[in-house]
Structure 1
Amino acid sequence: MHGLGELEVKVMDVLWAADEPLRVREVLERTARPLAYTTVMTVLDNLHGKGYVLRGKSGRAYEYTAAESREEAGARLLREVLYSSGDTEQVLLHFAKSATPEETDILRRALRKGKLS
């Protein structure tokens, strides 16, 4: 899975906020930016190719849903960075050393609650 561009993030924000599968027109209507229908259609096709969205036929049109939650997608991207570094341990240790106090608190709470085991 690759990173997301600016328009891809806007489209994913719409899909992550949706309670149901959306057609291209519905995604277009929910974006905060004036975009062309074909632009949204292309972005959704690219996101499908990258594995970020699932699509299914509804009549003659496709309906799109996020393949995973925003949090799951973020975790997947972090994992890809870790594994692409060649030295996962060093990257994790460097992150731990450079973590903000808030990030450190989150990690400590998660460890205490057993969420990281």
Structure 2
Amino acid sequence: MRLGNLERSVMEALWNHPEGMFAQDLADGLASRPAVTTVLTVLVRLSRKGLVSRERQGRAHLYRAGADRDTFVAETMRAALDEAGDVEAAVSRFVGTVSPEVAAALREALDGRDEAAR
């Protein structure tokens, strides 16, 4: 799932504040200094995408990330592969671009998956 720049900034802020944030605090903390109404619009969109949850606290809502950053990245990677015309080619090209550390992490994850399947 692709995020726009402001959506990404809001998610980064929420991931960095797992206790949650109010829309005003989000707007005040973002480098682009958007209006609170703009942040609220983005939060509604992110909520519809299942990325943000909200809880009423007094007259305002406290917003939290619906999933952690690693889960989001994994879902995004899976969705990208679902869109590939040739999954094998896409994976091969991806693996050709990763660092040795990422390649080792991929090997370890696949080995763990194979062991769990036995």
Q: TM-score, normalised by structure 2?
A: 0.80
In the TM superposition, 1:1-117 aligns within 5 A as: 2-111=1-110, 114=112, 117=116
- SS at 2:32's partner residue? coil
Could you tell me how far 1:110 is from its partner in structure 2? 4.1
CA RMSD of superposed structures (Å): 2.2
Could you tell me how far 1:98 is from its partner in structure 2? 4.3
Question: Distance in 1 between the 2:17 and 2:36 partners?
Answer: 19
**How many aligned residue pairs are there?**
115
CA displacement 1:38-61 (0-9 Å, x = unmatched): 111111111111111111211222
Could you tell me how far 1:32 is from its partner in structure 2? 2.1
CA displacement 1:20-53 (0-9 Å, x = unmatched): 1211111112212221111111111111111111
Partner letter of residue 78 of structure 2? R
Q: TM-score, normalised by structure 1?
A: 0.81
Could you tell me how far 1:109 is from its partner in structure 2? 4.3
Structure 2 spans left out of the alignment, 5+ residues: none
Question: Distance in 2 between the 1:19 and 1:96 partners?
Answer: 32
Structure 1 spans left out of the alignment, 5+ residues: none
Question: Distance in 2 between the 1:15 and 1:49 partners?
Answer: 16
Partner letter of residue 11 of structure 2? M
